[in-house]
Amino acid sequence: MNRWFVAGLVTLALIVLVSPGIVGRLAEKSVEENLNFATSESDEIMVTTESFDRGWFTSEGRHRIELGDGSLRALFDDGSTGQLPSLIVDTHVDHGLLPVTSMSRDSGSLMPGLASTVSTLKLDAGNGEIFDMPGKIYSQVGLTGQTTLHFLMEAGSRDVEATMLRWQGADVTVKTHPESGSVSFEGEVLPLSFLNQGAGVELGRMTIGGQRDRSQFGFNVGSAHLEMDSMAIKGGDSPPMSTGALLIDTNSSIEGETVNAATKLHLSSVPAPGIGDIDFIMDVAFSGVDARSFKKITDAIRNTPASANPQDAIAGMYPLIERDLQKILVSGLEIRFDKFDVSLLNGNLTTKLEFSLPPTDPDTDFSWSALLLALDASADVRLPVALYEFAELMSPDVGMLVAMGIFKKNGDHYEMKAEYSQGLVTVNGAPMPIPIQGL
């Protein structure tokens, strides 16, 4: 027999028989890294390893995901509910450069890597009851730690005490790389509902997708997309409130030392008593925001303790973010509402807003009045005559807007075009000086 052929067989045998034990230790570490990575967005979520029994070819692990001390826990724990619910993740791992043992189960694969896993989920209600949750997570852990997770859930239902849970299935794929901090995801969640004595929420089909990468400033940038067919909120004896489609698109990026971001939102068929269904469209973006100060402010907001009085929370947080807020303002930025539209039976109200601050000398003392002088802003509002007449019918004071020249009729629409620059506001061509204290 050709010795090279024999050498190949021996090498293959070593890979199949010896590598699982060696790779098993790496696979255990990788499973924990991916669980920790999945919860790394919040310091208030804890992952603990309850067990990990590592064998030569296969391993079994159990991890628990729960809320740690912090504002999120305080929101749900008022001291009267005892132990809070937690999520239990049971994982079966087939490890080895060629995970041959995975072929005996669903979604097994011989793709080379550290591990091929399947995880099931359980909900610990906190009162001693544990419920099996629908769906399974199949994953492939690559040689460098990158992981592909595939969540599959078939249609089903469950009654828990007085609550009825119904779902039609889900198929979601997530790709992660804990070392680089990158994540991509896409998938579909079919209609589901949570009802308790006729009250609850019914959600239509959802599709999701996106890409997220860790920036050099310690926060994530990328894109995300969510589309939901419908939503209904039922209040038992009260009439249900339902909406049409919801669409959300977001993207963010780093340019030099600044962060740019944009969000588009479209919500259709929102019921309004006495008016009819309303559609909302918003398209907002900001650019040129100092990235380091942005990170410090978002951290401060996230770490601010929960408070029953929002004003107290803001008052306590402001001293922590004041310097970074000033840094963002003096560094310059632009905020645009390219669309802020409302569609009604009587027509469409359209709004465009823009605010622009140029960079100022960082060595000068901070001054709010100086910022107001440097600010450039504009507003463009249009509404159809029929909508204006309806608003005037509901509130006669609306007519004062035309009498003051704030709105002018132009064909089938009333319009307002306003600009602000160097302390002067111009509305429909008429100047309106604004006194600024300290000038």
Each of the 439 residues of the chain gets a pLDDT tens digit; together they read: 444 444 444 344 433 444 444 344 455 566 666 666 555 555 667 778 888 787 767 788 888 888 766 555 555 555 555 577 788 888 888 765 555 444 445 555 545 456 778 888 888 877 777 888 888 988 887 766 677 888 898 998 888 777 788 889 999 998 887 667 788 999 999 998 888 777 888 999 999 999 998 888 988 899 999 999 999 888 766 677 888 999 999 999 999 999 999 999 999 988 877 777 889 999 999 999 999 999 999 888 877 766 656 677 777 788 888 899 999 999 999 999 999 999 887 788 999 999 999 998 777 788 888 888 899 999 999 988 888 887 777 777 878 888 888 889 988 889 999 999 888 899 988 887 665 554 4
Distances in Å between the Cα of 407 and the Cα atoms of 410, 415, 432 are 9, 5, 14
Euclidean distance between CA atoms 174 and 146, whole angstroms? 11
Q: Which residues sit opposite 276 in a β-bridge? A: 272
**Could you tell me the two tokens for 220?**
């994530």
Euclidean distance between CA atoms 112 and 115, whole angstroms? 8
Q: Write the single-letter amino acid at 254.
A: I
114 Rama sector, left if φ>0, alpha if ψ -120 to 50, beta otherwise: alpha
Indicate the angle between helix axes 310-331 and 291-303, nearest 10 degrees. 180
Residues 6+ apart with CB under 8 A from 431: 424, 425
What SS3 state is found at 86?
A: strand
Reported in sequence order, the residue ranges of 256-314 that DSSP labels E, i.e. its strands, are 258-272, 276-290
Q: Where are the domains of the chain?
A: 1-153
Q: What is the DSSP letter of 365?
A: P
Euclidean distance between CA atoms 201 and 191, whole angstroms? 11
Q: How far is CA 312 from the centre of its chain?
A: 26
Euclidean distance between CA atoms 387 and 342, whole angstroms? 11
Euclidean distance between CA atoms 260 and 402, whole angstroms? 38
**Could you tell me the two tokens for 305?**
């303790």
Euclidean distance between CA atoms 215 and 221, whole angstroms? 6
- CB-CB contact of 163 with 150 (8 Å): no
Give me the helices (H) in 146-222, please.
none
HSE-up of residue 225 (Cα within 13 Å, Cβ side): 11
Distances in Å between the Cα of 326 and the Cα atoms of 252, 300, 318, 369 are 22, 15, 11, 13
Residues 6+ apart with CB under 8 A from 395: none
Query: Which pTM does this prediction carry?
Result: 0.77
Give the pLDDT score at 103. 46
312 Rama sector, left if φ>0, alpha if ψ -120 to 50, beta otherwise: alpha
Q: Which residue in 165, 166, 185, 182 sits closest to 174, CA to CA?
A: 185
Q: Give first-to-last CA distance, the chain, whole Å.
A: 97
